[in-house]
Structure formats: C-alpha cells, structure tokens
Chains A and B, each alone.
Chain A
Amino acid sequence: MQLTRRGALALGAGFAATMLLPFGAAQAAVDEALAAFTGGAAIGEGGITLTTPEIAENGNTVPVTVSAPGAVSIMLLAAGNPNPGVGTFNFGPLAASQSATTRIRLAGTQQVIAVAKMADGSFVRTANEVKVTIGGCGG
C-alpha cells in the first residue's frame, strides 16, 4: 500500500471521526478491546516484555517484539490508532517461546500496549510509548 502523509492521517482515523469525538473515545475502544480479550478479568503486571523503538522514523513500519514466557496468547494494541487492534498471537504446543516480532503502523506518537493471557488464565500487561517522527522532507 502506498501510504502518503495524507493517507497516514486518514489511517489516523476515520480522521474526521476522531477529530470530532471527544478525547476518551479512543480509550473506550482500548477498554473494549481489553475486555473482549480478558473477559473482564483483572490485569496484572510483570512477566511480559515489549520491545519498541523509542523513536520511529516513520509510522508506516514500526518493528515491535513481544515476549511473555508461559503465555497462551498475546494481544497487541495501539492506543492512538483509529482502531486500537494490531494483532493477537496464539502460541501452539510447538512454539519454542511465547514471543513474536512484527512490524506495525502507528498513526502518531502513542502507547503500544501488550496483554498476555497466561496458561493459568491470568492476564498481564505492559505498555511503551513510541514517538513517531513527522519528517520535514516528504520526498
């Protein structure tokens, strides 16, 4: 997909929609995604590692790695995107580690959230802020 700067803004949203909604609409979408994943269970911390660049040179391709030893599945969310969902990794019996690396789109500087469902049914989360550069040179 050829993502122009304007395209990235649009990815940013339903651009107009986000601009019109009060702050917190995005939080509601994140809460909803979390609830769908956890079934409303409490989410703890620790035992999950999220590796992201501190500064992403462009929001189109941001490498992220997530690892949660003993997890059954890990969900990634981008809290500042029009839709917070990024992906969910479900690990099978032949996964050597409960970790995965992928490349994601971020519509701007924001929190990337990772939530793991552990084998005992408990949940843990972590989050990193990723600064997304808006360059001066569109080229």
Chain B
Amino acid sequence: MAENVKPRVRVPKTAKAGEAVVIKTLISHPMESGQRKDKDGNLIPRQIINRFTCEFEGEMVLDATLEPAISTNPYVEFEAKVPASGSFKFTWYDDDGSVYETTEAITVS
C-alpha cells in the first residue's frame, strides 16, 4: 500500500433535483509510472491508481480507467445530477489491490 494515500473530494452540500453539480476529486498518490529507474538503475515497479469511480446511491456517475500518464496526485473533475438527497461514494483502486473509499452527502431541496 502506498504511503499516506488520502482522498479529498469537494461536493456542494445542497443542490436542486436534477441540477448539475461540479465534483472535484484529488487523491494523494505517487502514480509511479513503471518507467523510472532508481539510483542503482533498477526499474521502479509501476504502482498507480488504475480506476476511479463515483456512484450516487448505487447508480453510476463516472467510471474512469487511469493509465500511468495521469499525473501524481490524480485529479478528476466532473459533473453529476442527483434526483434526491443521498450520498456519493468515491472509490480509487490501487495496482497493489488497495481500495480507497470516501463518501459525501448532498441534500436536495
């Protein structure tokens, strides 16, 4: 498991039903590309976040496949619409099998 991996998300606290809301996500992760060598010339093994998903109450908003060309501390911004109050679930999948999750509630008025 990569060290100090910490997800951050920004979701508005409230929204109108069906309104587009901007969601910003960032996770601290080195996104080791597998192309670099260490000081002794040995290849540093690839270790990246290879998939990111955002669901709202079990329904998909975004399911993204990420490659080593995504920058350190992967940032993904997108728009969601929600029919009713509930929670977003964000999931990041690490090459090493680790899964990082966080949830964020939104109130629909």
| A interface residues, Cβ below 8 angstroms from B | 1, 3, 7, 10-14, 60-62, 65, 78, 81-83, 85-97, 99-106
- Count contacts between A and B, CB distance < 8 Å: 115
Pair A88/B65 contact, Cβ less than 8 Å: yes
Pair B76/A96 contact, Cβ less than 8 Å: no
Pair A87/B61 contact, Cβ less than 8 Å: no
Chain B: number of interface residues, binned into ranges: 35 or more
Pair A83/B68 contact, Cβ less than 8 Å: yes
Pair A103/B37 contact, Cβ less than 8 Å: no
- Give the CA-CA distance A116 to B2 in the complex, in Å: 32
Q: Which residue of A is nearest B73, CB measured?
A: A103
Which among A12, A86, A94 is the interface contact of B80 at CB below 8 angstroms?
A: A94
Pair B61/A95 contact, Cβ less than 8 Å: yes
Which among B32, B37, B71, B79 is the interface contact of A60 at CB below 8 angstroms?
A: B71
B56 at the interface (CB under 8 A from A): yes
- Give the CA-CA distance A87 to B63 in the complex, in Å: 11
